Amino acid sequence: MDDDLRIRMAAFEWLSQQVSIFEEVLPRDIIQKGFIYEEKRIPLISPQGIFRPKEMQFPLSITTSPESPYEDSYEEGLLVYRYRGTDTEHRDNVGLREVYKRKLPIIYFKGIVPGKYMAIWPVFIIGDNPDDLSFRMVVDDITAVNKAKDLSQAISDSDIGRRAYITATVKVRMHQRGFRERVLDAYQSQCSLCRIRHRELLDAAHIIPDEHPEGEPKITNGISLCKIHHAAFDNMFIGINPDYKIKVRKDILEEEDGPMLLHGLKELQDKSIILPPKIIHWPNKDCLNWKYKQFAEQK
């Protein structure tokens, strides 16, 4: 195994450690600082989208920032990453083309919100499309890569089904994590009902469900709720009307079941939710009305 590949595998192991600490969404300063390899610091990201540390021969990572002018997408089961600029022979594009030819695994950092990136690895480039200035990519399982006798086996045609499943799963995770981070940031990392501020205990609750045709992953279709109030909202224990008032289901108001029910739910009756500082992030009233009608029909 050459130095380039050793550094890649060390980067993957380091990322696994960081994800165990920060979960999938990592602060930019952590990945920009990188890790120490044989007494040298290896950063994993730079202002350029395609990044090759000076200690490596080929690019290690690709990045899409939240403000990127390049519209990366997901097409026919594949991730699509746009070239840097329009010059197919730009050194960054040439470098990534070499990664493709040599079947090297890379890291994909997907910008979720400013300063936060979802780390996805190992990613393999399986197609180069100069006509539309893009590369096609799949996500694989690091365990399969580690077990392969050589990297060409790690992306063999026999594993198309596995790669397609993993890539589809990653797409869903990117969608969910992006929605969560945007909503929690809008609500300043607090539950809109009880003000709890521990981000680990917060969810981005959809007003209109994600699977519904109108359940768009927009901040205005979300509310920051702690896990208890999220469950109560989804299960119609509580409702939020278009005037941002909290209503508790009648049978819950009449129930006697200790201090948690009293202080956690019943005392919310007729109180207003805590709204984001920016009006453009307030819950959409049509979305609230759609959900509240269902709540009001509960017996």
Residues 6+ positions from 16 with CB-CB distance below 8 Å = 142
- Asked if 226 and 283 sit in the same domain, the reply is yes
Are the C-beta atoms of 105 and 148 separated by less than 8 Å? no
Provide the b/e sequence for 165-184 (b: ≥16 CB within 10 Å).
ebbeebbeebeebbbbbbbb
Q: Give the domain-ending residue among 138, 159, 182.
A: 182
**pLDDT for res 234:** 96
Q: Give the domain-ending residue among 135, 162, 182.
A: 182
Structure tokens at 231: 């469950």
- Asked if 177 and 34 sit in the same domain, the reply is yes
- Asked if 156 and 249 sit in the same domain, the reply is no
- Asked if 60 and 108 sit in the same domain, the reply is yes
**pLDDT for res 39:** 94
**pLDDT for res 150:** 58
**pLDDT for res 170:** 87
Please spell the DSSP secondary structure of 87-116, one letter per residue: -TTSHHHHHHHHHHHTT--EEEEEEEETTE
Structure tokens at 208: 């209109």
Alpha-carbon dihedral of residues 248, 252, 258, 263, nearest 10 degrees? 0
Based on the structure, what is the number of domains in the chain? 2
Give the structural domain span for 140: 3-182
Q: How many CA atoms lie within 13 A of 48 on its CB side?
A: 17
Alpha helices of the chain — where are they, by DSSP H?
A: 3-22, 28-33, 91-101, 142-147, 151-154, 160-186, 227-234, 250-254, 258-264, 285-296
- Asked if 216 and 115 sit in the same domain, the reply is no
Q: What are 233-287's pLDDT values in tens digits? A: 999 999 999 999 999 999 999 888 878 888 899 999 999 999 999 999 999 999 9
- Asked if 206 and 117 sit in the same domain, the reply is no
Q: What ranges make up the beta strands (E) of 184-273?
A: 202-206, 222-226, 238-240, 246-248
Q: Give the domain-ending residue among 115, 148, 182.
A: 182
Sign of the Cα pseudo-torsion (200, 190, 291, 174, in order): negative
- Asked if 158 and 198 sit in the same domain, the reply is no
**pLDDT for res 119:** 94
Structure tokens at 29: 């300063």
- Asked if 81 and 109 sit in the same domain, the reply is yes
- Asked if 172 and 198 sit in the same domain, the reply is no
Q: How many CA atoms lie within 13 A of 207 on its CB side?
A: 27
Note the pTM of the prediction, 2 decimals.
0.81
- Asked if 214 and 251 sit in the same domain, the reply is yes
- Asked if 95 and 155 sit in the same domain, the reply is yes
- Asked if 61 and 198 sit in the same domain, the reply is no
Residue numbers in the chain where pLDDT is lower than 70: 1, 67-72, 144-159, 299
CATH number, domain with residue 116: 2.30.280
